[in-house]
Amino acid sequence: MKRVYVNEKWCLGCHLCEYYCAFAGTNETDMARALKATIKINPKIKIEEKDGVSFAVSCRHCKEPLCVKGCITGALTISADGVITINHDRCVSCFTCILSCPYGAVSPSEDGAVQKCELCVKTAKGQPACVSGCPNGAIVFEERG
Amino acid sequence: MAINFLYPDYEVARNCDRCIVCRACERQCANEVHEYVDTLNKMVCDDAKCVNCHRCVSLCPTRALKIVKSGNTYKENMNWSGKTINEVYRQAGSGGVLLSSMGNPEEYPIYFDKILLNASQVTNPSIDPLREPMETTVFLGAKPHNIERGEDGRIKNNLPPQLKLSMPVMFSAMSYGSISYNAHESLARAAEELGILYNTGEGGLHEDFYRYGKNTVVQVASGRFGVHPQYLNSGAAVEIKMGQGAKPGIGGHLPGAKIVGDISRTRMIPEGSDAISPAPHHDIYSIEDLRQLVYSLKEATDYKKPVIVKIAAVHNVAAIASGIARSGADIISIDGFRGGTGAAPTRIRDNVGIPIELALASVDSRLREEGIRDDVSIIVGGSIRSSADIVRAVALGADCVYVATSALLALGCHLCRSCHAGKCNWGIATQSPELVKRLNPDIGYKRLVNLMTAWQHEIKEMMGGMGINSIESLKGNRLMLRGVGLNEKELSILGIKHAGE
Amino acid sequence: MKYVIIGNSAAGIGAIEGIRQVDKSGDITVVTNEPHHTYSRPLISYLLLGKVTEEKMKYRNDGFYAENRVNMLHAVATGIDTGKNQVILSDGNRIPYNRLLVAAGSQPFVPPFEGLDSVADKVTFMSLDDARKLDGMIAANKRVLIIGAGLIGLKCAEGISSRVAHITVLDLAPRILSSILDDDGAKAVQNHLESKGIEFKLSVNTKKFDCNTAVLESGERIDFDILVLAVGVRPNTALLNDIAKAERGIVVDEKSKTTAPDIYAAGDCTQTLDVSSGQNRIMALLPNAYMQGECAGINMAGGEKVFDRAIPMNAIGFFGLHVVTAGNYTGDVYSGGGKGDYKKLFYGDNKLNGYILIGNVEKAGIYTSLIRERTPLDSIDFALVCEKPGLMAFTKEERKIKLGGGAS
């Protein structure tokens, strides 16, 4: 399946992926209108940076997803084509997935559930917004072995 | 602090209704123009540091930024422009030579813009390049005067070494040091994919790029940095750089601070030492001396590679070119006064040299008159801005053009002309690792390929319109050109008629 | 191939999904003594809290059994005939199997308190039926006494706190959540719960009950209307006691196989190797149950799978305060955590052994992974990861594998 891959060699630490991600999560068509009132965004992809090294981390869509296997409610599921999504209605915010994810890619959301990258399958943006928003090709969406 | 008299040239105009305080501008500005103030949750700017490179403008996800010219004015004076006054203030403050980058931006005639192309109507058919063959391949190098036959009567191959290009364009010399590793990689990969050549400049060749040798011109300049047998033999051709359009008559100086790591190794000079390229080659004071170097290089490369001699377009360029053609060089490259640079004294850049269009026309005419035009190919550079400029240059007599500024623009350069500061926000004219990584060659080379492919389409279209189906047929075909708004002298130098004639 | 699964909770469901990864056609029969669609046991407190409905407690969608072609049998398994490969039901019927999974779970342990029979409204807190029963008992004027300040007792307290007059929690141990927290951590959580009106009496021994009064060893008497017994749980090992090796729980290998032929076991009824301590223990935790069940299912169907990464781990929250813990608490201690947060990492022998996070639990899985994978701490920037969990602590090459899907 196509996954989001990150190459830190090209990450500029500009954080734009986070903003495009947060924007994709809204239903707005204009980023300024979507995020103007937001003091601090809560994206599903997050930059880690230190001493000139930076890279974006989002859900790896593991083949053996510990978050899905550990989910106590069945809110996290893996689809036939390998995309791991969260059903916000079913999530009770027990954070077992946060406890389980070896990448730290699951985080609390504002609506009382947890959130994670769903490859923009619910946002109808065609490809993940972080990928199209990355100015330097550091985040790509492709098939790899 | 003393008054420095200088007011910022630009202002950063931020539309606060659109700014979402993502801070991308702040993170991406190496000049530290933007700053986040958390007590206000707002971005503020220091306009004085802005070089108008548009990095922030390009990356701003909400289009909240634009850079505008500062409205500050002096009392109107046609003699003393604001720019002139500011330069006096700057030098009165610093006591130093003014430094500039990229090509001469001053208001001199641009002859290319005063030359119009022909097209076929009724009596001679135009050609549709989408339906009929259209040849853009060119070969550079000396052409034999006559056919020689062996004792068996068969034709002897007496063709000197040639460069084969898919289109009459090469990326001109930009050294590793003046531009970044990633810029070099982008140029090399694009040249390979396009079937053209790029040029190392006087910085040697990074070992990673030897694999692109077939598409590389290796340069030998007055500093001789990075020159060794393997280097000479790794390229497809060797270029002796005698001069450069942006700074005719002077040498180069890459500060020791930039001679670090790979650059030091590639140039074969110690880290931290200044890389000074002398104004002249200290072993060349005549055409005969030049011939010595040409043949030294041919000897070193087993007579398998064409030797290019590059000069700046200066007043007596035609006579100089004639001498070069007789020196044994296979190709002459002429760089016009609009040609770019990573750093040059402003006065030199803006006041020395002549336009490439005039230089080209007079060199081509002179070599024809002397019957030695076939002994050399001519490459011209110094502000080839579009496919139309290429067509004009070829019709004026060039075999090929050199492009650099256009290539840099394709890589993201916004012509802010601050290369000499070393803080290129686009990762091109810098050696600072965090800036260099901003130019991803995977993206950069593709943009170069796109640009050249587009130009090639346009060249075919323009040639087809003239009823011409190959570059060879266009070369020196000045009847395809007409001048507008040019005086008799200009027309006569260019060897073209005025529009309407 | 005939598969029989005893149990319809996480391990059983894991086994169904595991079998179906390998064998799309074999017969699967699930024997369960609960007449419900599979539901998530930990959600019973959320049901009382009103955060979920019974509908939303379903651990899998309504179509799950049909999609996986599972025969559901609501019955009680009373024995196993290993000679004939049959499960014996309480009604005398026998179900043949080629592969059997015992995922019978655990049951509440109820100590033999004197006078317990005299208590009218008492309940354990383990199943949907328990929750329904408790839901029917509670009212705004009722006082609730919970015996046991463990995970079950405290989640119960949270679930009902807004719907009853008062809650008192008793425990023999000197601290709450004694199995997953250290003293300071427990104190922090206790303070939070007390601020929500829950009263604790710790280090107390309940001597006897007298109708609506609990009498402590000290002589203190506590009046209540409803008694919740949440002392602990015991694995349901009875079915296999005489057939396969069982210690505290059923003994299984890495492939979830018992010592009896063709019989597997998974989930709360088993004991598993805790890789953080190297000891076998009962880890009655949903994630482990699912993964062990899935592992059993895959192996039952002829696939190859090992489940050898079990560690104790808990994510739990009370009134918005999140507590995440994993591993065991031995070795040197790193203490950190920002304002209002509590963080302790336990490490030794170049490995992370365990951690406790209270409040800020961001990226806790990075720590869990270090424990689970037994990552040598000298291969990462341990000082950095202590301060801030993240992939930054790993080497560039390791990150390339994690974020780039291998060398690229």
Domains A1-58+123-145 and A61-116 share a fold: yes
Which regions of B133-215 does DSSP assign to beta strands (E)? 138-140, 163-165, 169-171, 198-199
**Chains touching B (3+ CB pairs < 8 Å):** A
Cβ-Cβ contacts under 8 Å for B211 (sequence gap 6 or more): none
Give me the residue spans of the domains in chain A: 1-58+123-145, 61-116
DSSP state of B61: T
Cβ of A109 under 8 Å from any chain C Cβ?
no
Cβ of A100 under 8 Å from any chain C Cβ?
yes
Cβ of A15 under 8 Å from any chain B Cβ?
yes
Tell me: pLDDT of B103 over 80: yes
pLDDT digits (tens, 9 = 90+) for B207-250: 999 999 999 999 999 999 999 999 999 999 999 999 999 999 99
Cβ-Cβ contacts under 8 Å for B123 (sequence gap 6 or more): none
Please name each of the domains of chain B with its CATH number. 10-96 (3.30.70.20), 168-469 (3.20.20.70)
To the nearest 5 percent, what fractions of chain A are helix, strand and coil? Answer: 20, 20, 55
Distance from CA of C46 to the nearest CA of A (A): 8
Give the pLDDT mean for B200-209: 93
Report the top-level CATH class of A61-116. alpha beta
Tell me: pLDDT of B415 over 70: yes
- Find out whether C100 and C264 touch, Cβ atoms under 8 Å: yes
Does residue B357 sit in helix, strand or coil?
Answer: helix
Cβ neighbours, 10 Å, residue B145: 11
**Chains touching C (3+ CB pairs < 8 Å):** A
Q: Looking up tokens 């806790």, which residue turns up? A: C364
Interface mutation target, options A99, A101, A114, A115, chain C, most CBs of C under 10 Å: A99
pLDDT digits (tens, 9 = 90+) for C205-241: 999 999 999 999 999 999 999 999 999 999 999 999 9
pLDDT digits (tens, 9 = 90+) for A21-74: 999 988 889 999 999 988 899 999 999 999 999 999 999 999 999 999 999 999
Bigger pLDDT: B1 vs B363:
B363
Tell me: pLDDT of C408 over 50: no
Cβ neighbours, 10 Å, residue C49: 18
Distance from CA of C366 to the nearest CA of A (A): 5
Dihedrals phi, psi of C378, to nearest 5 degrees? -80, -5
Distance from CA of A101 to the nearest CA of C (A): 5
Number of H helices, E strands in chain A: 5, 8
Give the pLDDT mean for B17-36: 96
Interaxial angle between packed helices C183-195 and C151-160, expressed in degrees from 0 to 180 and rounded to the nearest 10: 20
Does residue B238 sit in helix, strand or coil?
Answer: strand
Burial class (CB in 10 A: 0-12, 13-18, 19+), B323: middle
Tell me: pLDDT of A94 over 50: yes
Predicted pLDDT of residue C284: 87
In whole angstroms, how far apart are CA C218 and each of C204, C221, C224? 8, 9, 18
Kindly state the helix (H) or strand (E) to which residue A48 belongs, with its residue range: strand A46-50
Please name the amino acid found at residue B238. V
Please name the amino acid found at residue B437. K
Cβ-Cβ contacts under 8 Å for B369 (sequence gap 6 or more): none
Minimum CA–CA partner of A64 in chain C: C291
> What's the rounded Cα separation, in Å, for the pair B63 and B19?
8
> What's the rounded Cα separation, in Å, for the pair C402 and A140?
14
In whole angstroms, how far apart are CA B477 and each of A61, B168, B359, B393, B480? 62, 15, 16, 10, 6
Kindly state the percentage of chain B with pLDDT values over 90. Answer: 92
Please name each of the domains of chain C with its CATH number. 2-107+235-300 (3.50.50.60), 116-231 (3.50.50.60), 320-404 (3.30.390.30)
Predicted pLDDT of residue A115: 97
Torsion of CA C180, C186, C191, C193, to 10 degrees: 20
Give the pLDDT mean for C189-216: 95
| The two three-digit tokens of residue B416, written as one number | 């802010």
Torsion of CA C325, C329, C333, C337, to 10 degrees: 20
> What's the rounded Cα separation, in Å, for the pair B219 and B203?
8
Kindly state the helix (H) or strand (E) to which residue A56 belongs, with its residue range: strand A53-57
Which regions of C319-375 does DSSP assign to beta strands (E)? 321-327, 332-336, 342-348, 351-358
**Mean pLDDT score across all residues of chain C:** 95
Tell me: pLDDT of C198 over 70: yes
Tell me: pLDDT of C405 over 80: no
Predicted pLDDT of residue B1: 59
> What's the rounded Cα separation, in Å, for the pair B402 and C331?
68
Closest residue to C365, CB basis, from A8, A89, A100: A100
Kindly state the percentage of chain C with pLDDT values over 90. Answer: 96
Tell me: pLDDT of B388 over 50: yes
Length of chain A: 145
> What's the rounded Cα separation, in Å, for the pair B177 and B256?
11
pLDDT digits (tens, 9 = 90+) for B251-309: 888 888 888 888 899 999 999 998 899 999 999 999 999 999 999 999 999 999 999 99
Q: What is the pTM of this model?
A: 0.92
Q: Do C362 and A89 touch (CB under 8 A)?
A: no
> What's the rounded Cα separation, in Å, for the pair B500 and C37?
92
Q: Do A52 and B27 touch (CB under 8 A)?
A: no
- Any contact of A with C, at least 3 CB pairs below 8 A? yes
The topology (CATH level 3) of A1-58+123-145 is Alpha-Beta Plaits (3.30.70)
> What's the rounded Cα separation, in Å, for the pair B36 and B19?
12
Cβ of A85 under 8 Å from any chain C Cβ?
no
